[in-house]
Amino acid sequence: MLYNFRNDYSEGAHNNILEALLKSNLEQENGYGLDSHCKEAERLIKNKINNNDADIHFVSGGTQANLIIISSILRSYESVICASTGHINVHETGAIEATGHKINIMESDDGKISVEGIKKILDEHADEHMVKPRLVFISNSTELGTIYKKEELKEISEFCKANDLYLHLDGARLGSALASRENDLTLEDITNLVDVFYIGGTKNGALLGEAIVINNKELKTNFRYNIKQKGGMLAKGRLLGVQFVELFKEDLFFEVARHANLMAYKISDELEHLGCEFLTKPVSNQVFPILDNELIEKLSEDYGFNIERKINDNKSAIRLVTSWATEEDAVDEFICNFKKLYK
């Protein structure tokens, strides 16, 4: 059987979460996220971000979180600015467009948005004959495994505020970003710099679930109506609350993210030592080595991974993703087999 490095949600959930779900299983609770577990998870997250004024909402997945957030913010003629590699542009089957909103694309080699790119799009949309860019969408970590440093996010935040733009951060892999060996951001920094973001559980040890955090008071009113309309309000919302309590009551959210990153670093450091080049610098749990196509074909006989990009006729960049549950023995075996094949 192939060992899977395709994604960070192949496994189920951390044992602490499964045990907590079982322990709370026969409790009778209110529905739709109004239960005691969701309320406790809200309290814990507000404490972690150091913002008691934030509104917290739990939904099942990242695509759902993005379309609920973006559709609730934008008027019918307003658009969202996104990197060309961004999840809402590439991997959400037109979910944002299906809500009636155009995505303005900024070309990006590293998956990140820049102030220069935002300004260029604003300059190109100068009158009422075009959509009006109103929201900037970023991911941390990005689809190419890169992360935003504090100064980068601060610069984007300040530009958005000065130009009447909202800033939304997709945090599907926020755990990995914050646990990166190059990170200098905290959850509190993010709360202070973006209008709305979400904390990803699905790709960080939970069975499913994302926690939407609304910091901007303007975006809070009637948000639950949009959750319900978009099919995001679970009758058994308790299932999400239980999981986020486990992730944040101690340090589990960061503990599992650190493990995923360490497994990725073990792979990337060894490959770099062998002389491999990378599509982007490895700093999170996604690694993009550039390899000969012949080697990729041989590796695919024993391992599952995605081909990210064709580099030329002879080489491609593959994507290796580690998770909270990636076994170190499997990583060691991969490295050993890679060394035998690499020339």
Q: Using alpha carbons only, how large is the chain's radius of gyration in Å?
A: 20
C-alpha 152/C-alpha 138 separation (Å) is 12
Considering only the C-alpha atoms of the chain, give the largest distance between any 2 of them, rounded to a whole number of Å.
Answer: 61
C-alpha dihedral, 225 to 229 to 230 to 232, nearest 10°: 60
Copy the structure tokens of residue 307.
Answer: 């081909």
Copy the structure tokens of residue 156.
Answer: 């984007």
CA–chain centroid gap for 14, Å, is 19
Average pLDDT, the chain: 97
pLDDT of the residue at 2: 83
Distances (CA, A) of 25 to 29, 60, 153, 236, 244: 10, 18, 41, 11, 15
Strands (E), the chain: 3-4, 55-59, 78-83, 103-106, 132-139, 166-170, 196-200, 210-214, 277-278, 286-287, 289-292, 303-304, 306-310, 315-321
Q: What percent of the chain has pLDDT over 90?
A: 99
Give CATH for domain 15-250: 3.40.640.10
This prediction's pTM: 0.97
**Under a CB-based contact definition with an 8 Å cutoff, are residues 68 and 232 in contact?**
yes
Distances (CA, A) of 282 to 144, 173, 177: 9, 14, 11
Q: Which residues of the chain form CATH 3.40.640.10?
A: 15-250
pLDDT in tens, 194-231: 999 999 999 999 999 999 999 999 999 999 999 999 99
pLDDT in tens, 38-66: 999 999 999 999 999 999 999 999 999 99
Q: How far apart are the first and last CA of the chain?
A: 25
Distances (CA, A) of 175 to 23, 203, 255: 26, 9, 9
pLDDT in tens, 83-141: 999 999 999 999 999 999 999 999 999 999 999 999 999 999 999 999 999 999 999 99
In CATH terms, the superfamily for domain 3-9+253-341 is Aspartate Aminotransferase, domain 1 (3.90.1150.10)
Does the structure show a pLDDT above 80 at 343? no
Bond from prior residue into 108 cis (ω within 30 degrees of 0): no
DSSP SS3 for 240: helix
